[in-house]
Structure 1
Amino acid sequence: MRGRNEILADIRRNKPAFAAAAPTVPAYDDAYPSDTDSLIARFIEVLEKMGGTWAEPKVDETLDATMRRVLAERLPDNAIIASTVPEIAGNRRVRRDDDPHTLHDVDAAVLRARFGIAETGSVCFTERELIVNAIGYLAQHLVVLLDPAQIITNMHRAYARDDYKQAAYTVFHTGPSATADIEGVLVRGAQGVRSLTVIPVG
């Protein structure tokens, strides 16, 4: 039997002399709305279908007040809120050198999404937004700040973005965690976050 190194050497020797250009993959998004308002409406529709919440701030309401309003029934008075954004302070700092185990008791994590995807109602985070990657899974609730101008049509567009390709870690969150495999009953928060709330902010 020939060894691995011999096989790889044969492949290298027999490589074509020319480099074939990669095929152009279409975006498959011709049917999506071209105006921003309609694309936002499509995102909201799918987000809510997947169990997420779109929370528009009220007039003269701070982002912190919006967060507390939408989570009022879900959070205890002494809730631990870990924020990775400057707009909402929270009461637990998240540092890059934190041991993920120390975040096990976080009630709500506040994150800024890099972009949103209308096709799936998903929000995208990279290691830059998460600070500690596990925060997106250990928190009981996620509050996501999303610039509506950063909502794109579909996953094809997402994979083509430079910020996606250059990230060391990327994750797409689509609503809260859910399972329906036990007696066909939909249970949210089964293996991860119990709620995902998106607050639009530029």
Structure 2
Amino acid sequence: MRGRNDILADIRANKPKFTAPAPAVPNYDDHYPSDAAGLQARFIEVLEKMGGAWAEPEANESLEATMRRALADKLDANSLIASNVREIKGNRRVHADDTPASLHDVDVAVLRARFGVAETGTVCFTEAELTVNAVAYLAQHLVVLLDPATIETNLHRAYQRDDYKNARYTVFHTGPSATADIEGVLVRGAQGVRSLTVIPTPTV
């Protein structure tokens, strides 16, 4: 019996020559707001529909204070906060050589999103923001710093970004974890983070 590699080699060798250019695919975003404020409003609307929260910093409020205000009912003095951003210190460092299992007790993970997507209320992370991929799934709560200027209209635009195409690993998060396949009852936090909070923060 011929092996898998032999079969694939034959397929590649006999692949028909095809030189026609790929068709141009529309971006399908003509109906989205063209101004930054309108795009941000659309993002917030969909984010909240998907169970996420938008936490706008108050005047002269630090980002850590904004986070603690937004998660007032979820944090206490013993909460373990793993922060991958310089704006919020946290009390747990995440190192590239940490094993996923070592993050099992993280209460809050704080990450900066690479960009957002208004169509779905989504935030995007690459390996650069995550450090250890599991941190965005094992934490009880996820706090995301997002530069409103990076919000794209839809996923068509997101897929065209160089930082998306050049990343070794990319993940999209749309709200907290949720499932509704047991008698149609929506349960949030069943298989991942229990809450997702986005704090608008320009990239410096």
Deviation at 1:7, TM superposition (A): 6.5
SS at match of 1:92: coil
Deviation at 1:21, TM superposition (A): 1.7
- Structure 1 runs not aligned, ≥5 long: none
Specify whether residues 109 and 6 from structure 1 end up closer, same or farther in structure 2 by C-alpha distance, changes over 3 A only: closer
SS at match of 2:13: helix
How many residues are aligned here?
A: 201
Aligned to 2:13: 12
Tell me the TM-score normalized by structure 1: 0.94
Q: Deviations over 1:13-43 (max 9, x none)?
A: 4532x63322211111111111110000000
SS at match of 1:75: coil
Give the counterpart letter for 1:44 in structure 2. Answer: I
Deviation at 1:12, TM superposition (A): 1.8
Give the counterpart letter for 2:16 in structure 1. Answer: K
Percent identical among aligned pairs is: 72
2:155 & 2:26 partners in 1: Cα distance? 12
Q: CA RMSD in A?
A: 1.6
Pairing of 1:14-163 with structure 2 (within 5 A): 15-16=16-17, 19-163=19-163
Aligned to 1:169: 169
SS at match of 1:76: coil
Deviation at 1:188, TM superposition (A): 0.7
Q: Which runs of 4+ in 1 moved over 6 A?
A: none
Q: Deviations over 1:146-179 (max 9, x none)?
A: 0000000011111111111111111100000111
1:99 & 1:25 partners in 2: Cα distance? 41
1:7 & 1:126 partners in 2: Cα distance? 31
Q: Deviations over 1:115-167 (max 9, x none)?
A: 00000000000000001000000000000000000000011111111111111
1:161 & 1:2 partners in 2: Cα distance? 41
1:103 & 1:192 partners in 2: Cα distance? 13
Specify whether residues 9 and 130 from structure 1 end up closer, same or farther in structure 2 by C-alpha distance, changes over 3 A only: same
- Structure 2 runs not aligned, ≥5 long: none
2:183 & 2:57 partners in 1: Cα distance? 38
